[in-house]
Structure 1
Amino acid sequence: MLTAYYAAHYDTLLVLISLLVAILASYTALDMAERINATQHKAAALWLAGGAFAMGVGIWSMHFIGMLSFRLPIALGYDLTLTITSLAIAIVASGFALWRISQPTLPVMQLSVSALLMGVAIAAMHYTGMAALRMTPGIEYNPLLFSLSILIAIAASGAALWIAFTLRKNRPHMKRARAMAAVVMGVAIIGMHYTGMAAANFPLGSICTAASEGIPPGWLALVVIIVTLSVLAIALLTSVLDTRLESQTSLLAKSLAVANQELTRQALQDNLTKLPNRTLLEDRLNQILHKAERTHTRFALMFIDLDGFKAINDSLGHHIGDMLLIEVAQRIRGSIRAQDTAARLGGDEFVLLIEVTEPEDAASVADKLCNIINQPFEIDFHTLGVSASVGITIYPDDGHTPHDLLVNADAAMYHTKSTGRNGYHFFEASMNANAHNQLQVIQDLRLALERKEFKLHYQPKFNTPNGIVVGAEALLRWQHPTRGMIAPDDFIALAEKTGLIVPIGEWVLDEACRQMRIWHDEGNQHWKVAVNLSAVQFSNDHLIELVQTTLARNNFPASGLILEVTESTAMHDVEASLTILDKLAGLGIDISIDDFGTGYSSLLYLKRLPATELKIDRGFIRDLAQGSNDSSIVAAIIALGRSLNLHIVAEGVETEEQQAYLRVLGCDAMQGYLMGRPMAPDQFMDAIHTAALASEQAASLVPPNTSGNHATPMQ
């Protein structure tokens, strides 16, 4: 006898919603798999727990919504305990699936066993949910469709595990692949569910005992849909935000790594030439020294200094000088082996470390370097030429420590410079005497101010037309207790190099103003004193304050002071120079451009300088003769000065011919050995009085009708 069954139908909207939930749950599972794989330890466990809950709720909701879409001509309800049990089964199955795919590998055997367990769990979830209807008599299942639904559940679980394991890594285009896989997985899960629903038969006369005692399906459907979509949305949103945060964190970490690399590079690399700097050189030197000690081998350290670089840097500007240093560094880098080290210490000083077998190996490298550097450089439309002075030390013959090797190589380099430049010398013990001598001079310089060993000598300046003294230039001398009188050329460079020129310069300015104040009080108010400013002093931030304080302390008028700045110093940083000179001129001080004609001036900037005086370099005066190139240059400088309303001073006048020619050219003032050597203050006044007396006597002997210019004895 055939059994009659209730005719069932489905709510189309709820079926579509169940499909959407299945796809969304599948995508959530794939996304959770990626998050678990991307995190470590405690965070991975939290993502596993949260993912299991979200995925379990999603799968269970799909089944539950699918069951809610099922319609029978009788009232239906759901037992709360069994409904919650089916949800728990879904969460546990989801947790197992996420744990399985978070493992490093997924062999076929483990995949098969996991698919079987998960498929059975999903089937159990489905049929436990069906049992929550509590039908009387019970539901009759078609054995074929029942078995088919379980097989579909196992196959869908296997496919889902394999897809999730494959797509768990975050690679390009992975979002699109996961979306497509989620659709496939959702359809497979839906297929299992509706196959299981199709296997269920409800005999006529059956009643649902949970309809009166359990949960009514009406409002429950809406609550389940809203809660499920909310849980899945929150899970996905949390994952997306975490992914974005992780991405930003990763980007920040990469940026920090790049920044750290850049900081390390800057700390160990010369910014201009990109060669290793002093810090990295010291490290490389220690490494090669330890290796040489261990293997009983040799290496050479070469100290390289460029000849003629300073003149190019001062005349053409630091921009050209920097470009030249870059080109030199490239030539040095190109002439050594990969295992050798070339470093820049600063300025135009380079150091080379090379492994050698014999000293002759170092000699051949040094000779090659000198030849390469001696070749012309084409820099910004300028053809420039420099040469190299090289000093060489060999380990262990010339030193056993980095300090000894560097100092001795430096001494050998200076020996090369003193013997003609453009070449190389190996270190010899006798060279240390010069190096130690220089160190001793520096130490003595530090004590010279305290011991009051510095003296100022004054060289008179004369008005050209009438020979009247108009002032003096203050010139520094060092009265050393054992070396005697030392000229500035022998210690100024060291003072600038060590920074001692700043306190020495302060003393010179103060002493010059003090002495000229005395001469003013003696009736020579029209005299002015000229004081030289070195480049180091000129760039000192406290220069203006120093000048103001010095003038006030000595009660000396600013109009009686001339500050001399070399042309190259003034043109080094024109805008900064203009600011400083404008402030000095604003105090009422005269500004003199010293050594004019030796630098590389721009007339555009020169006319903007608040200078009152141009001082022609003695190099043009030395060979001055009518018709010579120097006479043309001097005439041009004087004409230029006239056009700019500048006072023109010639220094280094040593012959009457030079004096006469400068008068003809219209020079305003002169100074030089012909008219007066630099003298101590007491000798200076005696010489001035003697010159004035001789001038008066010479004038009284001139016949009344005789005209012409007559030189004084000091002239």
Structure 2
Amino acid sequence: MLKVLTCLTTEHDYRLVGVAAVVCFAACFTAFRLYSRMRGAKGLVRAAWLLLTGLVCGSGVWATHFIGMVAYDPGLKTGYSPTGTLLSLMIAVLFMGSGFVVASAQRTRTNDMAGGLILGMGVASMHYTGMTAFVTQGHLVWEHATVGASVLFGVAGCTAALILAGRARSLGKQVLGGVMLTLGVCGLHFTGMGAITTVPDAAIIVPDQLLSGGVLTLAVTSITGLIILGGLGAVAIESQTTRSALERIRRLANAAYEGIVVVQDGRINDANAAFCELLGAPLAEITGKPLYGEILRFSGGEGSRDDVRREGVLQPVEGGREIPVEVFARLMDDGARTETSGLTVLAVRDLRERRSAEEKIRYLAEHDGLTGLLNRNSLQTRLAATIERVEASGETLSVICIDLDHFKEANDQHGHLAGDALLVETARRLQDSVTAPSFAARLGGDEFIVVQVGGGDQPTAAAELSGRMLDALATPVMFEGQDLTMGASLGVSLYPDDGRTAESLMANADMALSRAKEGGRGIYRFFKREMDESIRERRSLARDLKQGITDGELVVYYQPLARAADGEVCGFEALVRWQHPTRGMIPPLDFIPVAEENGLIAPLGEWVLRQACADAAAWEKPLRIAVNLSPLQLNNPALPTLVHEVLISTGLSPHRLELEITESALFKDYQRALDNLRRLKALGVRIAMDDFGTGFSSLSTLQSFPFDKIKIDKSFVENIHRHDRATVIVRAVLGLGRSLEIPVVAEGVETQEQINFLRSEDCAELQGYAIGRPGPLHTLEAWTRANPAPAQAPDQTQAPAEPQATRRSRRSAA
């Protein structure tokens, strides 16, 4: 070792030694940068990187050797043989390339050691082959032990360089590998130089054509510099290209809506911004962390398989609620780079929005969209399941059917928004009235169901709940500054007395509801077996009536009105009849209430109005036609528009149409009704107050609106001269009419005595059987023709006498 140090300090030019060391490190560092690229390549790309790595490293080691040789000065004339010089260069390139190939074949310690051995032996072979090109005036005497030590230095340095550099992916690893390889090469060279002793011999002549030290130094430095610069340039270009491509890919990945994560060996290698946002952590914090198990879990417990979509959950880094995700994995292998082998790219889609949408769809499929209560399908399913549970547990159960009173009127009068407000508020109050496991549902329209589970013994518990719900629904609802009247009727059926299935319990509760409506509304009724047949009959009648309106089974009968002074007919009142195809003539008393209960009164009233106007327009005499309006029609904002359209389509003059209303109809919505009456008056239509003296009659109504006619109810007229009070009332009403200059019509006139009294009290018009019975259109010719035949009363057998109760029901609905 002392001889080696002596040789280095006394026989070498320090400047050239420094140049040799710099050239060696530059070449070794560049070789490891190229080596990192070669490890991640395949095929032709790998071969190109291999050739460049071997050329740079081999030429650098070769340059280090010959610069070091030029720095060596034995005190004798020296030269270099071109053949040996070139041969040593080829050996260096070949061995350097081979060593790096072996080391990069597989990332193991054995491959690194084998590659280091090849590199070390290549440096030794290059060195001692290059020494054969060294020519001097003397003989070279070798110390074999030192030669062996030099080879060991070289192999150790090369092996340590490969082991410590590893994949050489980072700049620090590349510098460390370059330093260790430089130490190995320089250690081998200068130890080998210390193994020789030059014995001068004047007989040996150094030819002049040999390469001189200066020329060799210039040539070696220039060639090696160009090769190193070329290698560094290639690395720089490739790195810049790779960085640009990676930046483009990252921008695209970060623009993606879905999370994208690159996994290698089960650990996170890279990820886009969307994935980092899902985890709630920056990329630097999650890089290198295990993905499967800790962060991402699948239902099957396995990792994501290639080209298979699977669902799992993602756990944010900072904790919190797990995120449902859908994962699609694909192996990333471009066939050109080994660094992509084993890399898996996972597309991670956040399923929270989709799950929320699915949950919303499921909710809407099971619940009513307006009120949030269970819908009909969900009710039947849940009620069936509840019955099974109750049957097993021995609990009690009742089904309560709820229908809002006069909901259709409120909906038509105030608009659909008001109706919706009523339904929503009803649902809220029903939900507040029950506690789990009892529940409420909406069947549709204004009909609701409450299923009471438990609560005590039946029917006491059902009665208590029904009473509470009636009280809750009785409070008005405020809508746009107005109080909307609430109210309901309830029907109750009990399990198992009234049924053991959901269908039978609901059907029987509905029948009980119908009985509650018949009883006056605002009450509840329990199901009774005897009500089954009558309710079925009414429902059948309602279906027939709806079809009858469509099929034209209804007919209009006309009852004449005459002037009291001379008895001449001046108009008719339209009265509806139903000619059922199998039941025959059905009186209004039977079908008008059915029409009211089932929402048929509006189309029925419109049909009567159109038919009566069309018939009257065809009469030769311009007689008036009187048509009754139901409360629902009167409070409908579209009534004036409908009347105008009917008058235009039928060609009837407005002053010939007389619309009769009861004062009780005004009180449903007083202001709206008066507004409609004023609009009708503006069309030229006459307005009559029907059944004056009954119901809610008050003088304020006559003061609020200028009626064209007042009709005294039949109940007073038929008692003239029978009851003094009735006579006084009729005389007072007639006097009131004269004072207000409003003509008065007396209904129900049946005797000559009544006619004489009414004439004496200046009654304007008379109506009743004494004038003429109601009859179909073809019986009116004697009155409606311009030049009638000799007076002949119409067929008095065409229609039976109409009971007073029937007339009142008809007027309230037709």
TM bracket, shorter-chain basis: 0.3 to 0.5
Using structure 1 for the length normalisation, give the TM-score.
0.47
TM-score by length of 2: 0.42
**Which has the larger Rg?**
2
Query: Per residue, is there more helix in 1 or in 2?
Result: 1
